[in-house]
Structure 1
């Protein structure tokens, strides 16, 4: 006669249910851990992507600011088209004038003439061949414009290559405009942010440099008494300063950008902001940069970037 043991009985329904319950808890914990890690990795990936975008875009902006006025000699009669820097579109956009366009290597460099009219320059430092040159004498006045690469007259002259499609300075300097647009805004950006675009010589549309930009402002620092000390800081660019005075007084250009970092995070709440009658803002050096108008902006991270550049190439 064989006796029935506990081993022969198998598992009871309660034991099976308890086992399933424990397994489901483990699977749920694993799932939520996976989701949390995935969200974190996605957020980090977006943050890294934005950081790389910022490095490239901000470096190009810095180079353009550094070369404000590069190659722009003084004409006999100064006009508004020779302003090396101005605001356009009711002060919303920044326009830079320079013979150098940092995304066009044919405009990078210079040549030197030394009493050799009608001949090749005695020295050339050109990034790429370009026979379109505007020459400036040792007093900073335009001495001639050529399309054959030859020295226009005797004297010590410095020539700057320019793009023949240039729209500024009588066709010898490029006009580079920085402006905000919400066209083709990336999906991870707050819908009330913008792309910062760069447009050269009235091109159709512009090239995006930075995305998820909530606000963009620019100011200048001036030395008004010619003692090489800044007298006025963070002055609004209102185009009221005569072109020659701007050349002499401009010491620094400041650009402020309020940029979103990372994507939407319902578990995060941004708190470092103030409010006035115009909306919510972050203030830096007295400059107010406004956040998106909708209340969900608090679920994004925001950062103010300031670029302050001393123009290196203004012809005085």
Structure 2
């Protein structure tokens, strides 16, 4: 303290400086803690927002599986015009290293003579343990491409009566076809209580044409016939009478820096009508994806039991009639590594037991993720969807 004009003593200055330095150190430590916490929370929020968007897109695709698919063919399409995935295609599904021996995206083809199956799935070697790996899911429908031009969402009903053809338009530019858009035509029939949707194929084996010429695919017809005209692609001549998207988990060459080891990205890869896949990331930091099906009797919406395989032999008809529900389980973590956090469970059920044996698998985090597994916030995201275009 001051004594007249003598000023501070050296001891007093040292004490004041020590107090000042202590306050600065404490404040800095607190600030660092706040910054770390804010960083963790912001990354977790970023992950959560991204997951919501990607999973809602996935949910929509699951719900629309089977939309616009033919049940039978008027005649066999020309082999050159119905190819689906070929060895010349490009994209992540073609270069992925997780394929079991003898399998590839072509494993899920229905070309060149098969009626398309709305849903297919199988095993991969991604995080493989005890013979079970992350699943590969394939959805087939016209709307699964999600293109910005909206061609695949357009449709029109055409009927023939005693007075001629009726083909009313929507009077809406976003719903009416333009002359050059590529379309296909299905004949709707109902005989002996059994409905059918037959893909119209001309004498040359073509099943698609421009909208301006769609009527060539309604020949022959008679009074009472009803046809459905569906958009397939804006301008490209189709190589398959449907659109297809493949869903899988794969680790990119440069993984997201916030993700745990042995995790990957959940991708949606759209098979283009022209060539190749377009790869769309849906969700980061994914360790596993499992698929379970709810099965029920024909002509009922009831789910009698769940299993990891498709009903019966997995034919298009059995899928259409007996597949009532699709459940997808995705194991991922939110946020980045947090050394101050300890995850309480070392084993996580990716799937459900429904009162019996687990459908899916138990994921062992220490074994399959490795050291530091418990410094991540793990969560199983569950999608439960009833496909609206399958239930009869």
Matches within 5 A, 1:108-257: 108-115=153-160, 121-124=167-170, 127=175, 129=177, 130-138=181-189, 139-144=195-200, 145-149=207-211, 150-151=214-215, 152-153=217-218, 154=221, 155-163=225-233, 164=236, 166-167=238-239, 171-183=240-252, 184-201=254-271, 203-204=276-277, 206-224=279-297, 226-237=299-310, 240-257=313-330
Give the structure-1-normalised TM-score.
0.85
SS state at 1:162 partner: strand
Residue in structure 2 matched with residue 71 of structure 1 by the alignment: 68
Give the structure-2-normalised TM-score.
0.70
| Native 8 Å contact 2:322 2:391 kept in 1 | no
Residue in structure 1 matched with residue 119 of structure 2 by the alignment: 85
| 1:43 matched to 2:45 | no
For 1:244 and 1:254, how far apart are their aligned partners in 2?
20
Structure 1: gaps spanning 5 or more residues: 275-280
For 2:391 and 2:68, how far apart are their aligned partners in 1?
7
SS state at 1:132 partner: strand
How big is each residue's C-alpha offset from its partner over 1:167-186, in whole Å with a ceiling of 9 and x where there is no partner? 5xxx1111110011110421
Number of aligned positions between the proteins: 303
SS state at 1:208 partner: strand
**Cα root mean square deviation, aligned:** 2.8
CA displacement at 1:161 relative to structure 2:
1.1
